[in-house]
Amino acid sequence: MSASPPPTPPSGALIDDERRFEPITLPCEWVEDYRPGGYHPVVLGDVFNDGQYKVIRKLGDGSYSTVWLARDLKNSGYVALKILVSEISGSTTELRILRHITEVAPAEEARHITRLLGEFEHRGPNGAHRCLVSEPMGPSVNTMVEELPQFKPRMQGMKIRYPLRMAKSILKQSLQALACLHGNGIAHGDFQPGNILFTLDDINSTPEDLLRQEEDVQAESISPPVQRLDGKEDKWAPRYLCVGQPLAPFTYYGEGFKVKLSDMGGAYFFTNPPTKPVTPLGLRAPELILTGTIDNTLDVWNFGCLLFELITGQPLFCIPGSDFEDDDHLLSLTARLGALPDELFRHWKSSSLYFTPERNLFNCQLGGVAPGEEPLMVEQTSMEELFDQADPDLDEEEAHKVKALIRWILQYDPAKRPSPTKILSDPWFCEIDV
């Protein structure tokens, strides 16, 4: 190993020739983000907050944080520890919003939102990190469906979607969470199935050795040792990375299960919307794509997409990242929900690649018709047709109600989209018992 210490890594985004480490191919956070301003290096067994919290398992990671299951050594039981990257740890909107919810929202009203139990600052080689303590939660609505016993073992031709009773309960509970936030002047900003989490089945009575993640490279629960390209010892990264292990085996999904809306990392007060949203591609509303407009009605649009997805088991808009992702999405919107209104359509700079001056569709080839090629036309499938093709577990009358509900929510004019409270008063939601 080289004797001279390595230089301090840069605190901004990397360019290719600044890479420090051998690549790690496991599903973990990017190792190069262990730098000043970035992630705090954590290994299993680390303790935080003056010996109060001992890390025993990694639950997951995101662009701005890692999340760990920790044993609370002072109060017994377990907590989730979210350790933010240091460059956003000063005073994050997420923290202000979590504090605000704790102060203003009654516990009953906020029962479907993960609540802040505590917070502290931790100093490490990459700076000062804000650490948020909350109740540990199970997998997200996105992934829990794969854990349901009826889909094990997986068979060809299986429709992997929640039973109708579960789907309706998830929808109502997540809508109640949204109503609570909006009622207190807060937009979630990243309302999607990956941020709706199942609660656990009495985890505090579970022995630690059943929950503890093994330091096992062969089983791929941790990565091989983190190694610098120059062979030197690195003081900004951990010895190894952990693969996230959600608490699926300890999750309750039986009668009366509960879900909670989590991750306020994209949340904002109505009075102070961000300039750049964190919305996944397929969930963007048309005004966001075309004008960059951000307000609380985007949450409602996202809910309409979730309603379609949970009942049918497939997304309404499936938009892969590409140079033409906006065109792809706008063409899908037009097919599923009808022609865009003039005030939106005029912002679509590349619309002439697909529409005649009279706004008749003549080409669906992304990027336009290549010289010497014929335009490409594909069958236009409406939202209702796609819904029926998925053959959801509803009778005709209920299917008609749900499609009408989706239409009511997914309106091109944001001002006409119903509020979460108004959607909750729809007869279809009133009939759902949670």
- Contacts of residue 131, Cβ cutoff 8 Å, sequence gap at least 6: 48, 49, 81, 82, 83, 84, 119, 120, 121, 122
Cα–Cα distance between 418 and 172 in angstroms, integer? 15
Q: Give me the DSSP letters along 351-381.
A: GGGTB-TT--B---STT-PPTTPPPP-----
Partners of 131 in beta bridges: 83, 120
Catalytic position from the list 33, 46, 61, 190: 190
Enumerate the H helices of 145-206 as residue ranges.
164-183
Cα–Cα distance between 174 and 191 in angstroms, integer? 9
> Which residue, among 101, 102, 59, has the nearest Cα to 83 in the 3D structure?
59
Alpha-carbon radius of gyration of the chain? 24
CA dihedral 196, 199, 204, 209 (to 10 degrees): -70
Length of the chain: 434
CA 21 to chain centre: 28
> Which residue, among 304, 97, 288, 302, has the nearest Cα to 195 in the 3D structure?
302
Residue 172 marked in a binding site: no
Cα–Cα distance between 61 and 40 in angstroms, integer? 12
Q: Is 190 a catalytic residue?
A: yes
Q: Give me the DSSP letters along 271-299.
A: TS--SS----GGG--HHHHHH----THHH
If phi > 0 it is left, if psi is from -120 to 50 it is alpha, else beta; for residue 328 that is alpha
The two tokens of residue 105 are: 């929202």
Binding residues are 82
Known binding-site residue numbers for ATP: 82
Q: Point out the residues that are catalytic.
A: 190
